[in-house]
Amino acid sequence: MQMTETDGSDRCVMFGSINEPVASIDRRVPVPPGARAGLVEWEGYSMLLLAGMPVAETMHAFYWRELATFTGMLIEAKRLGVTVQKYMLVDCVSNKAVGGSYLDPRDGPHDFAWLSCLFAESFNYRMLFALQSETRVEFDLTNIKGGRFYHQ
């Protein structure tokens, strides 16, 4: 299924970032915090994350961009009373959905940014989040760096 960008007026259900997962090393970029221990599962795959597992050195700048995007997304979702319950993985080349899973209720912007780096570095995937709402909401992207709406 192909993902296409939208302006959100069609009550789109997916939100994601256009931050390019470009690997680079810049020693001026702060080192992100390590992972929270847990099990990540998606479409029949699973990966055990050890507490403190680092973000790859080449993904540090990408982590901070993603953190800013996901922090803004969660603030706006909370303002609107919208829940973020699951994510999809989209191939960066074909722009097709290739998997997805439900989020742990304890996950926050750090967890999302960390996983985004893992999927971008390991598989060249980006994460899109399903925004669950009973009614159409006016999700404001003004303060969300790199945020975009997508639909299938």
Instruction: Please indicate, yes or no, if residue 127 is contained in any of the structural domains.
Output: yes
104, 110, 115, 116 alpha-carbon torsion, rounded to 10°: 130
Tens of pLDDT, residues 1-10? 556 665 554 4
Q: 90 vs 3, which has greater pLDDT?
A: 90
Residue 121's domain comprises 4-21+34-151
Question: String of b and e for 71-98 (b: at least 16 CB within 10 Å)?
Answer: bbbbebbeeeebebebbbbbeeeeeebb
Instruction: Please indicate, yes or no, if residue 29 is contained in any of the structural domains.
Output: no
Q: Determine contact, residues 131/15, Cβ cutoff 8 Å.
A: yes
Tens of pLDDT, residues 64-86? 988 988 898 888 888 888 778 78
Number of domains the chain contains? 1
Cα distance between residue 152 and residue 143, in whole Å = 24
Q: 28 vs 11, which has greater pLDDT?
A: 28
Tens of pLDDT, residues 103-118? 887 888 999 999 999 9
What is residue 101's three-state secondary structure?
A: strand
Token pair of 44 as six digits? 């029949």
Tens of pLDDT, residues 21-76? 667 777 788 999 998 888 888 777 888 889 999 999 999 998 998 898 889 888 88
The 10 Å Cβ neighbour count of residue 112 is: 23
Instruction: Please indicate, yes or no, if residue 102 is contained in any of the structural domains.
Output: yes
